[in-house]
Structure 1
Amino acid sequence: MTIPVIQWHAAAWQQLQASRQQQRLPHALLLSGESGTGKAAFAAQVAASLLCEQPAADGRACGTCQACQRVAADTHPDRFRLAPEEPGKPIKVDAIRQLIQDLSLTGHYGRYRVVLLEPAEVMNANAANAFLKTLEEPPANTLLILITAAPARLPATIRSRCQPLRLKSPDRAAAAAWLSQEFSDSSRAEIELALRLAGGAPLLAARYLREEWLAARRRLLQALVNCATGHTSPLEAAGVATQLLKLDRQLPIYWMYYWVADFIRLAYDDNNIKNNDMTSDLQKLPKPVEPKALHQLLGKLQQARRLTESTVNPQLLWEDLMIDWSSLFAGQRG
């Protein structure tokens, strides 16, 4: 059974397979596109296609041969993955040197070798310089796939030595149709909400549905309401937030940021808020609140997002944010 290609990747897939049939595959591919559009999934399918023992006529991997089984088990010796040791950390030069050493050896199966590097833009300067040497003298029968949502952050010397391929985002109707097929148990309202929160990115919306992020977000926003009205202390609200960090370090920051932004926006246009499924909860928040203080909190949340990529103590970070949030409404609680 061949592995299907996501529908909005079809044009890029056909373009790449045409190059393959003409024996004009590049040695390095710069795969870019908006976050949540499936760049990693597309790159993985390209890798599976090149490693497959019996690909279909359109290039798709068969999904059943020994090579495909090894790919699925993440044990294929001719597929290499490079990523930061921890989220938010850079890809270091030692990892690139190890890759160069591995690629200097003969491939195990005599077919292609494929390198998946994501996110490519987080290579530090030494790593990028070492990787540049590989791009300048590429190994035979090897495809280097650099995956990024921010190609401009890569050095120009690296970009110029890769063939660019940008994946387009699907329109909202196509994304909703795909999600409805993938998550048949989810309601239309849940799918639309997930898509809106994901900024229209279907694979990010899929994570909202698959990993129960919608319920987690609601727990955080309800804690914000309770904190503002005095039913929950800032420390208790911070505890809710830190529990949610197990899902993702930055998502709770985004959720709170858009919640504060919606509270500001609510005074001007209640038809254009991101959290429109919780409009009634927003309207329960005590008023009036000094707009300047709200904008200052937005700035602090932006800074907090950057701090989550460091060694900052998350509990202390969230306690500080919740104390600031609670203090905005102290005068209205009586």
Structure 2
Amino acid sequence: MAEVYPWQDDLWQQMAGRAQHAHAYLLHGPAGIGKRALAERLMASLLCKQPAGLEACGTCKSCLLLAAGSHPDNYILEPEEADKAIKVDQVRELVSFVVQTAQLGGRKVVLVEPVEAMNINAANALLKSLEEPSGDTVLLLVSHQSSRLLPTIRSRCVQQACPLPGEALSLHWLATALPDCSAQERVELLTLAAGSPLAAVKLQAQGVREQRAAVVEGVKKLLKHQQSATQLAESWNAIPLLLLFDWFCDWSSLILRYQLTQDESGLGLEDMRKVLQYLAQKTTQEKVLNIQDWILAQRQKVLGKANLNRVLLLEALLVQWASLPGQR
């Protein structure tokens, strides 16, 4: 059975309670809020032969086959390897499934996640099935970055926004999910996860607080000329590249905010407040804007799975960061 999250109650009633279902849904929103679980829950309900209200019964033949991963009218499309693209050949196999007759005489349900992982050829191959799916087929597309999708993909789906849960609800859920963490640690994890509770749990499992501490200490040593950009870049080899760029992008934004407002409470987590305040006072808005533009451009390359030299990229980032406290 798919996980059920308390912040999805209204979404679930809205989607599962439809008298007639659309042929394609696009569930979009930030990563780490349970969109995949919501899609799987809806998938089970749509395939169930004797649903109990809005929920799948869990005991009919269809539910048992789905639980065993052998339902003939269910198809899940995702990258063959983590963080890789969904290829056109994979989509062609999906299209072949869509045009077949349902073997159990009911619906066919397709789940694609993340849909933005499709390359341009794969996305174009999917368009025909989205426009005219065969028989009683429902396609559930899950996207963490819907802005990266072709407009033609978005326009062929009923778009369902999945917003972040409120902080209080997220922290209440995290108290159960991460009972060994203190209340302050859970707040920090949720902040690092940009408010996504499931992402906070994942970050805790990855040791993100320890990684963050190492990066913060390294940045301080860099600014004090106690460690070189090259040494730091090599020492951060185990830290995800996207995570590093997210942090530096966030820090540049916080510097700009402080330069405009002089509000110390808006400097983010405690670990970098003094550093960011110092940089805000020692550099110009123009320099911060320039490095932020550069960080955002490189971050897009990382998201696009570009073939990058990790150490050289980080070294370039750190050299620019070290140059911030210069002449105003």
TM over 0.5: yes
Hey, what's the Cα distance between the residues in 2 that align with 1:140 and 1:286?
A: 60
Specify whether residues 211 and 49 from structure 1 end up closer, same or farther in structure 2 by C-alpha distance, changes over 3 A only: farther
Deviation (angstroms), 1:134: 1.1
Aligned to 1:220: 215
Hey, what's the Cα distance between the residues in 2 that align with 1:186 and 1:300?
A: 36
Aligned to 1:298: 292
Specify whether residues 15 and 288 from structure 1 end up closer, same or farther in structure 2 by C-alpha distance, changes over 3 A only: closer
Aligned to 1:202: 197
The alignment status of 1:191 with 2:183, answered yes or no, reads no
Deviation (angstroms), 1:182: 1.4
Aligned to 2:225: 230
Aligned to 1:13: 12
The alignment status of 1:256 with 2:255, answered yes or no, reads no
Bigger CA drift: 181-190 or 39-48?
A: 39-48
- Aligned pairs for 1:235-314 (under 5 A) are 235-245=230-240, 249-263=241-255, 268-280=262-274, 288-289=282-283, 292-308=286-302, 309=304, 310-314=306-310
Specify whether residues 130 and 194 from structure 1 end up closer, same or farther in structure 2 by C-alpha distance, changes over 3 A only: same
- Aligned pairs for 1:1-334 (under 5 A) are 3-19=2-18, 22=19, 24-51=20-47, 55-60=51-56, 62=58, 71=66, 76-84=71-79, 90-107=85-102, 109-151=104-146, 153-245=148-240, 249-263=241-255, 268-280=262-274, 288-289=282-283, 292-308=286-302, 309=304, 310-328=306-324
Bigger CA drift: 35-44 or 153-162?
A: 153-162
- In structure 1, the residue corresponding to 2:15 is in which secondary structure? helix
Hey, what's the Cα distance between the residues in 2 that align with 1:300 and 1:118?
A: 29
Contact 2:26 2:160 survives alignment (8 Å):
yes
Specify whether residues 257 and 132 from structure 1 end up closer, same or farther in structure 2 by C-alpha distance, changes over 3 A only: closer
Hey, what's the Cα distance between the residues in 2 that align with 1:68 and 1:188?
A: 39
- In structure 2, the residue corresponding to 1:318 is in which secondary structure? helix
Hey, what's the Cα distance between the residues in 2 that align with 1:97 and 1:126?
A: 10
Specify whether residues 307 and 232 from structure 1 end up closer, same or farther in structure 2 by C-alpha distance, changes over 3 A only: same
Contact 2:75 2:110 survives alignment (8 Å):
yes
Bigger CA drift: 225-234 or 162-171?
A: 162-171
Deviation (angstroms), 1:170: 1.7
Q: 1:116 is matched by which residue type in structure 2?
A: L
Contact 1:3 1:60 survives alignment (8 Å):
no
Contact 1:28 1:162 survives alignment (8 Å):
yes
Q: Across the two proteins, how many residue pairs are aligned to each other? A: 323
Q: Give unpaired runs (5+ residues) of structure 2.
A: none
Hey, what's the Cα distance between the residues in 1 that align with 2:285 and 2:154?
A: 43
TM-score by length of 2: 0.82
Q: Kindly report the root-mean-square deviation, in angstroms, between the aligned alpha carbons of the 2 structures.
A: 3.3
Deviation (angstroms), 1:327: 4.2
Hey, what's the Cα distance between the residues in 2 that align with 1:74 and 1:236?
A: 47
Q: Give unpaired runs (5+ residues) of structure 1.
A: none
Q: 1:39 is matched by which residue type in structure 2?
A: K
- 1:227-283, CA deviations, whole angstroms, 9 ceiling, x for partnerless residues? 2212222122102333212xxx31111112223444555563321112334435656
Deviation (angstroms), 1:74: 5.2
Deviation (angstroms), 1:122: 4.7
- In structure 1, the residue corresponding to 2:173 is in which secondary structure? helix
Specify whether residues 262 and 4 from structure 1 end up closer, same or farther in structure 2 by C-alpha distance, changes over 3 A only: closer
Contact 1:52 1:65 survives alignment (8 Å):
yes
Contact 2:28 2:143 survives alignment (8 Å):
yes
Deviation (angstroms), 1:143: 1.7
Hey, what's the Cα distance between the residues in 2 that align with 1:244 and 1:8?
A: 31
Specify whether residues 303 and 132 from structure 1 end up closer, same or farther in structure 2 by C-alpha distance, changes over 3 A only: closer
Contact 1:225 1:285 survives alignment (8 Å):
no
Q: 2:13 is matched by which residue type in structure 1?
A: Q
Specify whether residues 61 and 330 from structure 1 end up closer, same or farther in structure 2 by C-alpha distance, changes over 3 A only: farther
- 1:284-321, CA deviations, whole angstroms, 9 ceiling, x for partnerless residues? 87974455444432222222212323111111111222
Hey, what's the Cα distance between the residues in 2 that align with 1:303 and 1:286?
A: 22
